[in-house]
Amino acid sequence: MPLAVRKRLVVVVPTIALLLVANQAHAQPSRDGARTTIINADSPAAVPDHYMVKLVDTSSVRSESLDEVAHGLATTYDGEVDHIFKFALQGFSVRMAAEDAQRLAADPAVEYVEQDQWVGPANDTQESPGSWGLDRIDHRKRPLNGAYSYPNAGEGVTVYVLDTGLRITHTEFDSGARARWGWDFVGMDPISDDCGNHGTHVAGTIAGTKYGVAKKATVVGVRVLDCGPNTLISKIAAGIDYVVQHAPRPAVINMSIECKLPSGQSCSWPTLDSTVNSAIQAGIPVVFAAGNFNNDACKRGLAGIPNAIVVGGTESNDSRSGSSNWGACVDIYAPGESIVSAGSASDTAVLSLNGTSMAAPHVTGAVALIMARSAQWAQQTPADITAELVARMSTKNVLTNLTPSDPNKLLYNDGPPVRGGSSIAVAPNADGRLQLVAATADGRWISRTQITPGTTAFTDATSLNVSRNYYSVAAQRAVGNAKVTTVALTRTGSTSPPLNDGEEIVIAEQLAPNFNNWTESPATLDGRLTAAALSSRGDLLEMWGANTLGQVWRRTQTTSSITNWSAWQPFGAFGAGAAVRSIAAEQNATGLPQVFVTTTDGRLLTGWETLKGGGFMTAQVPGLPGGAKVRSMAVARYPDGRVFLAATDDKGQVFRTEQNKGCQESFACNSWWTWSLLDGSVRSLAADVNANGLVEVFGVNAAGQIFHVAQVDADGNNWTKWSQIPGAPLRP
């Protein structure tokens, strides 16, 4: 390639994105005469004598004969095949003279011939480490807390990074345990090492142990850029073709490509568009950086991939980065300035980079987390993943410096799974046996009835509703009602105020007391929650909930019907500084509700009603031993009205306590025994009192297995050993 052309492609720009100079408008070959036109032949980035050929999709041109067809056409028109696209595109790349390419374009077997072009990332900018991106994406609003919370770690998802390669031995990828090479389309060998930082940095933001969004996902480096760094569109198309052929499912692709023509000029890459869209049709989501020229992304080559996820970049003040491309072709924004991640200089190298290439991997990591939720989510289409990401996993209307056509959506990644009931809840039947309800790992809402109080013997599971992706459950039986009521939260449904995003609320009731049969068509209530709890108020129930903003809300049944409730009312007794993650509630000795919440910073708070219909008092429950943060909790009510409380710390250790005496006086409502270790290692908890008046505690471990422990006598200090309850795994 002439030196002058190469120089204009490596202009120093203080952002990170793959820069592609493309033609302002390519001529589409007609089927009736202008068949010798070569697409993008007059592009400033055109590579002499290098072309990409898309074949007509006919029964005579299928993958089993592509080799023969490609080599036959190349020989006929005096060319030499470089790469054959078999999976993401029916075609091949070829080297031949311009006049021979024109003759090839006129062949009836050819749909079009496109001139190959050079690509290459802009110069990286390094700053002092201090990445804020992870901290930002797990908060709906500021202030941030200096930590990153996530619902799962992306385990089982493979992420393909089409870039400068990958340093697979970096400690961010567990020294190679979660990273591998795919193929090097520059050196044409299986060692796709990184000599330019960009690929390793991107992969670190996606899946690094410290800097990554999906910390247990597997990353595969597919090298399509040389150390220059330069490459051809055909190399990138070949990389996508490779992924479509080799990727296990679920998988996602991350890449960054940008047109570098002056503002106001458009570019398009039909061959690349075809391969990207084929990957999406094959079930592989593709995440693109929007680019860094402060231009309309639709005019910068991204209009041809409407089904890809296009990501713009933001600064730490939630302003669109001044260099980020914008507009209707952008789907979502994510942090893209001063992002710290792994470097390729050594196995411990770290550097800070800017650009939409740093924003895109935040979103790619979030896609991995969505697909890792369950087997059901792993099989969702890229369109479903995109809808989930953009509609639910984004914070609306917090960004500034946008254009009228921009989506005001900032990436939001769910925090830890809801605790304090979460995927499991129990409530006493009228005969004292416990009713267990749960959300399974594959998203079902199930129920099981205890056969004998105090044991692990339960009936087989009954599905209350199999058509949804359930996330969290709660259960309770009002004192004056013989039937158990259960609530489940599901990730589907439309947003309705006042609860600001979160999950839809579905409610069901036993058809008959003491039996595992339920309302045939569970009802959907208004509002959206991330955690729910039910407490008894005489013959009726009270519902408590937390939303994605960490706010607490409450409502009360107006009749015994499960669909008749008062309007939601905000519960501000815990104050604005308490960002609530989970919630539980019980009727205490006064006959009034006492609510418990865990906060995002690991505190356990309680509030109790002092007078029916009157005010609440609140306090912080004494902390766990050693100052450990509370991760999950559950409550139960003894027959004398005292409240039993169980909680886990960050290590999954289970602790227990209970009120010293009944909550007849306000101060006694927050007077507790010293915390005692209950052994075990679980993530989610549920608890209640059985027919013997003794507490039973249920826990779900990281594998989704259910375990059970029970009090032996009224002393409260003697317990059985933890034992497993067989059954389908639950959401951890």
- Residue 444 corresponds to which tokens in the numbers above? 């079902």
Non-local (6+) Cβ contacts of 158 within 8 A are: 217, 218, 219, 220, 247, 248, 250, 251, 252
Strand arrangement, sheet containing 470-476: 470-476, 485-490, 503-509, 523-529
How many Å apart are CA 638 and CA 644, to the nearest integer? 7
Q: Is the peptide bond before 625 cis (omega within 30 degrees of 0)?
A: no
Strand arrangement, sheet containing 218-223: 179-184, 218-223, 158-163, 251-255, 286-289, 309-314, 332-335, 409-411, 394-396
How many Å apart are CA 307 and CA 370, to the nearest integer? 17
Among candidate residues 82, 116, 124, 163, the one labeled active-site is: 163
Amino acid in the structure at residue 232: L
Burial of residue 401, with CB atoms counted within 10 A of its CB: 0-12 exposed, 13-18 middle, 19 or more buried: middle
How many Å apart are CA 581 and CA 551, to the nearest integer? 9
Tell me how far CA of residue 666 lies from CA of 207, 424, 513, 596, 643, in angstroms. Answer: 49, 31, 35, 15, 14
How many Å apart are CA 700 and CA 706, to the nearest integer? 5
CB 485 within 8 A of CB 507: yes
Among candidate residues 131, 268, 341, 357, the one labeled active-site is: 357
- Residue 457 corresponds to which tokens in the numbers above? 């013997």
Tell me how far CA of residue 532 lies from CA of 502, 613, 654, 678, in angstroms. Answer: 11, 21, 21, 25
CB 55 within 8 A of CB 93: no
CB 420 within 8 A of CB 633: yes
How many Å apart are CA 398 and CA 407, to the nearest integer? 11
CB 323 within 8 A of CB 15: yes
Active-site residue 198, yes or no?
yes
How many Å apart are CA 124 and CA 354, to the nearest integer? 7
Amino acid in the structure at residue 261: L
Tell me how far CA of residue 72 lies from CA of 54, 79, 728, in angstroms. Answer: 14, 10, 56
Which of helix, strand or coil describes residue 335? strand
CB 634 within 8 A of CB 584: yes
Of residues 554, 571, 572, 555, the one with CA closest to residue 563: 555
Non-local (6+) Cβ contacts of 597 within 8 A are: 420, 546, 552, 574, 578, 580, 581, 582, 583, 584, 604, 605, 606
φ, ψ for residue 477, nearest 5 deg: -125, 120
How many Å apart are CA 622 and CA 673, to the nearest integer? 10
**Angular region, 429: left φ>0, alpha ψ -120 to 50, beta rest:** beta
Describe the crossing of helices 356-371 and 198-207 by its angle, rounded to 10 degrees: 40
Q: What angle do CA 695, 700, 701 make, to 5 degrees?
A: 130
Tell me how far CA of residue 362 lies from CA of 65, 203, 312, 548, in angstroms. Answer: 40, 10, 11, 20
Residue whose pair of structure tokens reads 């909550």 in the numeric block: 663
CB 464 within 8 A of CB 435: no
How many Å apart are CA 428 and CA 434, to the nearest integer? 4
How many Å apart are CA 470 and CA 664, to the nearest integer? 38
Among candidate residues 83, 198, 362, 708, the one labeled active-site is: 198
Length of the chain in residues, anyone? Answer: 732
Question: Annotated active-site positions, please?
Answer: 163, 198, 357
